[in-house]
Structure formats: C-alpha cells, structure tokens
Structure 1
Amino acid sequence: MFYTRTTDLVQRLQAARRDLALEAALAKLDRFDLIILDDIGYAQKDQAETSVLFELIARRYETRSLAIAANQPFSAWDRIFPDKAVPVAAIDRLVHHATILEMNVDSYRRRAAAGRTTLEVEGAATTTDSLADNHDHPASDNLAGKTKENVTT
C-alpha cells in the first residue's frame, strides 16, 4: 500500500516524464497492490499534470487498486481537468469495478476549530483547545470532509 497526496505524485511523475523515465516510474508503482491518492480535486490541474495522472489511472485499470479521496463529486471533475475528455475517460476506468463511498460529514479539522475558544491576552488573540489533549482523530475522521468525497478502489 502506498499513500500520497495527488499533487506530490503528479509532480514526481512529471519529473520522470521530463527525464524520459515515466515508464520506469510507473513500473515502480506497480509493486503496490493499492495506491491511495488524497486530495485529487484540491486544485485545478494543467494539461501536463492530468496527462501523467491519466497514465497512472489507465495503467492500473484492471490490474491494481486505486483509492481516491476527492473533495469534489465526479460531476465537478471537468472543472479540475482542462481537457474535458480526460475526466470522462478517467472516471470511466475508476468506476468500472469500483466501490464508491460518498461522505457528507463535518471535517475533523472544522470540529476541532469549533471546540476552541479565543482569549484576549494583552491585546493579542490566543486560541486554546477547550478539550484537553484532543489530538487523536479516528481513522474514519481522516477520510471525512465538509463536502462530499469520493473514495474509489
């Protein structure tokens, strides 16, 4: 299993493409039965980024598993990818054998922030936790976001 932010992996794959080593970089990822891509819809991607991302999705289609966490529903992916054909082809491959979990729950970060109070100390605002040592977050909270997320395998 390999977990990464989508942006980080895309940057590594783009560097591999520039070095004419994309095939080797993708082959190295084949050793993982599961790759988890986090924050796929965090920012709009350019053509070069979506190209290497699609290469990864296409390569793993029907051979290895991908889990994808996105803060955008599939219907909004055309705003993330500049070439409108790419999200259609990518989603087609992702959902073909997928289990899709769509969550609409509060973010654990937002809950933690709501539990804090602001104190006025000599003209400076200071934030404190209202719950002592509330730094552990259940694994299920780590998949949650304020908007719907799609997790696909």
Structure 2
Amino acid sequence: MPIAPAAAEQMREAALPEIFETFNDCFAATESGGISVASLEGRGWSRATLRSGDGEVIEGGPIFYGHAERAPIIILSTLEGQGVCMVNARIESFEVFEQFKQAFGGKLPPADDEGTITFMAEGRPVQIAPTGSREAPALRLAVLTERESN
C-alpha cells in the first residue's frame, strides 16, 4: 500500500466507530507485551510505503499501516519487541474528540497542559490527545507495550 507523506488536512475524516475499531486493533497488537505485526495484518492492515514528492521510496523513519476500509492510520515505533502502536485520525471537529472521551464513562483522568490524557488499560499505558489544527482537527491514540508490574 503506497502512501505519500500527507498533512492532516489531506487525510479522510474518520468516524468514531472507525477510530474505536482502530484503537482496538492497536490494543490487540500490543497484547503480548510486544508489537505484533501479524495481529495487525490479520485484522486487514497493510504496511504502507512512504514516498517523497518526486516518488522516491523513503527508507527508515516511522512505520505506517493503512486499512482499505478505514480512514485512520497506524504508526508503529518498531516491527517487533516493546514499542508503541499509535492511531492517527483526522476528525470532523474537536467535538469528536470529546465524544471519544465520553465513551470511557467519565473515568479518564484530567488532561495535562498540552491536552494529553494518560491512563492505564489492562496494565498498559495509553495516551489520547487532540492534535492538528482548527482547520484540520485530528486525534492521536498511543498504546504502549510496557506492562504494569504487579
């Protein structure tokens, strides 16, 4: 799946169900304590090839995954071992971010000064944050593979 570096305003807007499905896929891909590419691929995700403006393949850097039926993209910090599975989604407005937070039933901690909310879910750190701009609002969700020790 080729993908060119795109600004947030060039991404298709994601609906809440797509965002939740993608978040769940990232969560499943970190379940073992490491990144599981096989888990993502089994859920319909394909690795994207980054290309420069002149069409050259860009090597190194973030690892992008796209899904043919969903607008959000997934960015991995690594292909195996401990790391981060991050969901980036263009949203219609920052009200969508508020709706996403409401789905947690008021159980999320307050946001930090930059608007990032960090919490533990099934022993793993998760961060959610509004990103983008007023013209191109976006939402970022990060699931870390680190496990809380008991």
- By percentage of residues, which structure has more helix? 1
Indicate whether the TM-score tops 0.5.
Answer: no
TM-score tier, shorter chain, comes to under 0.3
> Whose Rg is larger?
1
- By percentage of residues, which structure has more strand? 2
State the TM-score, normalized to the length of structure 2: 0.26
